[in-house]
Amino acid sequence: MTDSLATLADLRRQAADPQRRILFTNATIISMDPQIGILHRGDLLVEGSRIAAVAPDLRSQGAADGAVVVDATGAILSPGFVDTHRHSWQAALRRIMPDVNDLGEYVMSTLARYAPVYQPQDVYLGTRLAALSAIDSGITCLLDFSHNARTAAHSDSAVQALLDTGIRGVHASMRPHFGAWDGQWPADLARLREQYFSSADQLLTLRLATLATDEIAGPDLAYGPQLAQVARDLGIGVSIDAVFGTTSSAAILGWARDGLLDPGVTLIHSTGLTGEAWKAIGDTGATVSLAPVSEAQIGLETAVPAVDEALAVGIRPGLSIDVEVALPGDMFIQMRTLLSIQRMRAVNAGYGTDRIPPRITTHDVLDFATLQGARTNGLESVTGSLTPGKQADLLLIRADDLNNMPLNDPIGTVVLGSDARNIDAVLIAGQVRKWAGTVLDVDLPQLRNAVEESRDRLLAAAAR
């Protein structure tokens, strides 16, 4: 497969050519496109940044002519994963509180104690580390819920970090919960859009990030008519965090009544909501981002990821990582956790009766992690499936590795068998970001030193 340094050299030599062609051959292709389905032996052609064709045999149609050919025998080609919500700036404090007891403990530690001492360079390093790690684990699109925008420089650093990694990034900007800040948000979103997001044909997009209610950080951060108007004036989507419980349910009904919910609005977590709130979400077409490990481990409201509630009103949710200060950072565990929790609940609900409640499948959770994640991030037409015309955001996963062989069910192998070590290659917009199991263009010792220095400075500053 991708063990050829010569192939990598050819790919990189032609990287700037908008007509460059890459032909993957002999792969097992999981397209996540309902019209294409799964090809147990197929080819995929990339032209420039886009997928040009997917078929059982493209060589016979001349697709290899002038193309860099990658023999993907023994590998699975799949869409890249899409993370719909991660607080990337926190990455230097990874697993600093692995046994966090509840949301309040996280808020008072990370947001009240550590966040106020962050300098722009700390935001840059944390965001860059999170994005590179995402690429390593197969996440090609990341929504960075950047809620430590103390100054314009903090926001610039977060955006620059995404740019420097080459990930497909969504910068969702929000002011901090606690501590001193410049008061530039949300007005600074207009500057950010003009400076970094002026083109629709680029890797980065912009969203407004906010909270559901005023319980955590006061009324200025609660979504409502004023913030909704900011987003509409700028033509950007909205991601709303901390959506749970009766107060969020009441807020949702108010948003629906006032016309503030639509497909461009994402509700994050959505645990413990009332049936009336769920009906309003479904009726308005708003999207939902679940963070299965976060909801269960931190114990957000009911602690049960709301997949059944979402599906019941016609919403297929996206998946997300949330906070690496306490949680894992890859999509494989999100899929497995959600699959296990939902099926456990279904079996338990029918135990001792003749009822058979519906159970989600491995295909469902892979759909949530790819195509539905792209839809949740407002990028369904861009990424999330191996569909001709979409951007070439894809993974080459080794199915003949020790933990995956022999290949029997491709989706089962990706969801239940694979992890980051099996991801041989990652392409984003047709550009190679990981090859032969290694993320490219990263000076790992230098990055490690910088991140450790940032962590040490943060801990020392927070202790004063």
Give the CA dihedral 459, 460, 462, 464, nearest 10 degrees: 160
Return the pLDDT at 5: 85
Amino acid letter at 461? A
Note the pTM of the prediction, 2 decimals.
0.97
Residues 6+ apart with CB under 8 A from 300: 103, 244, 269, 271, 294
Mean pLDDT across the stretch 74-102? Answer: 98
Return the pLDDT at 199: 87
Strands (E), 356-459: 394-398, 423-428, 431-435, 438-439
Q: How far apart (Å, rounded) are the C-alpha atoms in residues 137 and 395?
A: 10
Contact 222, 211 (CB under 8 A): yes
pLDDT at 3 over 80: no
Strand pairing partners for 237? 207
Amino acid letter at 192? L
Q: Which residue, among 3, 57, 158, 82, has the nearest Cα to 331 in the 3D structure?
A: 82
Return the pLDDT at 272: 97
Q: How far apart (Å, rounded) are the C-alpha atoms in residues 265 and 298?
A: 24
Return the pLDDT at 200: 82
Q: Which long-range contacts (CB under 8 A, 24 or more apart) does 186-191 make?
A: 186/227, 186/230, 188/149, 188/152, 188/155, 189/230, 189/234, 189/236, 190/234, 191/152
Q: How far apart (Å, rounded) are the C-alpha atoms in residues 397 and 75?
A: 5
Residue in the structure block whose two tokens are 């999330």: 384
Mean pLDDT across the stretch 114-143? Answer: 98
- Other residues' Cβ atoms within 10 Å of the Cβ of residue 199: 8
Return the pLDDT at 16: 87
Q: What are 186-217's pLDDT values in tens digits?
A: 999 999 999 999 888 899 999 999 999 998 87
Residues 6+ apart with CB under 8 A from 361: 339
Q: What are 388-410's pLDDT values in tens digits?
A: 999 999 999 999 999 999 999 99
Mean pLDDT across the stretch 9-20? Answer: 90
Mean pLDDT across the stretch 60-66? Answer: 90
Q: What are 301-341's pLDDT values in tens digits?
A: 999 999 999 999 999 999 999 999 999 999 999 999 999 99
Percentage of residues in the chain having pLDDT higher than 90? 93
Q: What DSSP assignment string belongs to 154-189?
A: HHHHHHHHHHHHT-EEEEEE---SSS---S-TTTHH
Q: What are 415-460's pLDDT values in tens digits?
A: 999 999 999 999 999 999 999 999 999 999 999 999 999 999 999 9
Q: Are strands 75-79 and 394-398 parallel, antiparallel or unpaired?
A: antiparallel
Who wins on pLDDT, 462 or 15? 462
